[in-house]
Amino acid sequence: MEFIRTEIPDVVICKPKIFGDERGYFFESFRQDIFEEFLGYKVDFCQDNESKSSFGVLRGMHYQIPPYSQSKLVRVIEGRVLDVAVDMREGSPYFGKSISHELTAENKNQFFIPRGFAHGFVVLSETATFAYKCDNYYQPSHDRGFMYSDNAIAIDWKLPLNDLLLSEKDKKQPSFEDSKKFDFFKDLYKLELV
């Protein structure tokens, strides 16, 4: 597994080593010891989720506030998506910045999005099966988000905004300015070092 820090260094692309032949392929999709060694702190995943969506479906921008904030390790099993993370940590040098990466069934890359980031994705293929690990349980009372099309963040979703398919919840999210933020110094950095 190769780990690549993005322009926002806490967000990481994970590239597996794939072994393939005429029978098919094999790869390790997750290994706790080398993952934590790279990050330098412990991440205890406790919930796995999976969704299937059609072309143009956008899910985001979502996050949970403390004490139920979540790190996510996301990947695509079938299809192709543009995956996006936005730094919600006030005090961070990257506050309000977004980072995106295309995840496909072919490249088998994964995207690690730590606590303090909002997350979303849009489907670029006919359908996509999306899977992810979380290091905290889903808690509806602490679920938050902001509007995917907010000009203050200006995410390039690679599709015309009028073509996107959204849930009623995501059509009614607040602006980035009005959304709940994290305190970079107080809320997040009680990390257990490896």
Identity (one letter) of the amino acid at 72? K
Catalytic residue among 63, 94, 132, 148: 132
Through-space distance between the first and last CA atoms of the chain, rounded to whole angstroms: 18
Residue reference for tokens 């110094």: 185
62 is catalytic: yes
- 136 vs 143: CA distance, rounded Å: 12
CB atoms under 10 Å from CB of 136, counted, come to 19
- 64 vs 147: CA distance, rounded Å: 15
Catalytic residue among 62, 63, 94, 148: 62
Residue reference for tokens 């977004």: 98
132 is catalytic: yes
Active-site residue set: 62, 132
